Amino acid sequence: MNLLKDRKKARSYREFLYILPFLVLVAIFSYYPLYGWVYAFFDYKPPFPLSMDKFVGFKWFKSIVDSPTKINQVLKVLRNTFAISGLSLMFSWFPMVFAIFLNEIKSKGYRKFVQTVTTLPNFISWVLVYSIAFSVLSSTGAVNSILMGLGLIDTPKLFLQSSNNVWFRMWLWLTWKNAGWAAIMYIAALSGIDEELNEAARIDGASKIQIIWYITLPSLLPTYFVLVMLNLANFLSNGMEQFYVFQNSFNKEYIQVLDLYVYNIAMGSGGYSLSVAISILKSIVSLILLCVTNTLSKLVRGEGFI
């Protein structure tokens, strides 16, 4: 009996040894960087190692708000972040509606075609998206050529170098890239709806719109709710790639979101410590948002998403 127990114990430790190298990797690449947060409390100038006499306490945190110009800049960055995340949140119903009406189309081949084609942009990088945007929207690009050919404009419009509607255009590109992919989740949920329910409604004389409104939409709402909550939890994290590739001196004022700002002050002007301080504040707010939305989800659905 004892022998068996020992054997089992030996096996359990041996299995732990198998996964240990991977745990070490996780520790190094995911947990150890957290230690880097201490740089926010030092006057850090790479490549010199940290030393105690460079300790500055909360100087960088205070410096975010210590002069009107800085406050102004931070407010602008926050404004951009809120505007772009807000737009995504406001139109987060779009993939759902996209899926619902796509599902109404009778021809299966056509449905499949639309789904395949609209999902494709999700799998190309933001650099490629920018390259496409550049090709299509530059002064000799397709859009300008067509508009001028139709006589709608006389001189090429410089779409990418304009500071008008930057947030909306960023939202458009995001939608171009993601909407088809985001719709897949709803399309799958749609196939789970009991066909008899629709049939019964049709016999009762319900129109297509009525069926969508009273049967389809309610059955998709739980999925929608989860995605909105996730959206809210990531409100401050737009990522930087999209905005990095699209940024230029004309639109910088409107395109610089938090993630890009953190990158720009560190890599652009060497403000490592300040950058870390800002990303710490961002992480704290994001953590709070995650807890709040998770609790909300628990209250509404009975289960969280963590």
Partner 1 sequence: MSAKLSKNPKNKVRVSLEDRIISIASYFIYSLFAFVCLYPFYYIFINSLSANDLSERGKVLFWIKGLHFKNYVDVMKVPGLFNALKISVARTLVGTAFTVITAAFLGFMFTQETLWKRKLWYRFVVATMYFNAGIIPWYITMRNLNLTNNFWGYIFPTVVAPFYIVLCKTYVESVPKELQQAAEIDGAGTMRIFLQIMLPVIQPILATVAIFSAVNQWNSFQDTLLLVTDNKLYTLQFVLYQYITQASSLKALVNSSSTSTSLAASLATAQTATSIRMTVTIVVVTPIILVYPFFQRFFIKGIMIGAVKG
Residues of this chain, 179-238, that bind partner 1 according to CB under 8 A:
180-181, 184-185, 188, 199, 202-203, 205, 207-209, 223
Among 71, 90, 105, 292, contact with partner 1 (rule: CB under 8 A): 105
Nearer residue to partner 1 within complex by CB, 71 or 124: 124
151 pairs with which residues across the strands? Answer: none
C-beta of residue 239 within 8 angstroms of C-beta of residue 259: yes
C-beta of residue 187 within 8 angstroms of C-beta of residue 102: yes
Residues contacting residue 280 through CB under 8 Å, at least 6 positions apart:
37, 40
Nearer residue to partner 1 within complex by CB, 2 or 68: 2
Residues of this chain, 259-288, that bind partner 1 according to CB under 8 A:
262-263, 266-267, 272, 275-276, 279-280, 282-283, 287
Q: Which two tokens stand for residue 272?
A: 């490592």
Q: How many residues bind partner 1 (CB under 8 A)?
A: 93
Residues of this chain, 6-35, that bind partner 1 according to CB under 8 A:
8, 11-16, 18-19, 22-23, 25-26, 28-35
Residue with tokens 């049939």: 199
- CA dist 306 and 289 (Å) reads 13
Please report the beta strands in 45-149, taking only residues with DSSP state E, as ranges in sequence order: none
Provide the minimum distance between the beta carbon of 148 and partner 1 in the complex, in angstroms, as a whole number: 9
Nearer residue to partner 1 within complex by CB, 96 or 102: 102
CA atoms in the 13 A half-sphere facing the CB of 195: 3
Provide the minimum distance between the beta carbon of 242 and partner 1 in the complex, in angstroms, as a whole number: 11
Among 99, 102, 166, 220, contact with partner 1 (rule: CB under 8 A): 102
Residue with tokens 């990797």: 25
Provide the minimum distance between the beta carbon of 68 and partner 1 in the complex, in angstroms, as a whole number: 26
Say which amino acid occupies 227. L
- CA dist 167 and 182 (Å) reads 20
Does 161 bind partner 1 (CB under 8 A)? Our answer is: no
Nearer residue to partner 1 within complex by CB, 257 or 262: 262
Does 303 bind partner 1 (CB under 8 A)? Our answer is: no
Nearer residue to partner 1 within complex by CB, 73 or 119: 119
Among 93, 134, 173, 225, contact with partner 1 (rule: CB under 8 A): 134
- CA dist 29 and 228 (Å) reads 30
Nearer residue to partner 1 within complex by CB, 58 or 101: 101
CA atoms in the 13 A half-sphere facing the CB of 85: 23
Does 296 bind partner 1 (CB under 8 A)? Our answer is: no
How wide is the angle at C-alpha 126 spanned by C-alphas 120 and 131, nearest 5°? 90
User: How would you class 81 by CB atoms within 10 Å of its CB: exposed for 0-12, middle for 13-18, buried for 19 or more?
Assistant: buried
Nearer residue to partner 1 within complex by CB, 58 or 113: 113
Q: Which two tokens stand for residue 100?
A: 């619902």
Nearer residue to partner 1 within complex by CB, 28 or 90: 28
Does 146 bind partner 1 (CB under 8 A)? Our answer is: yes
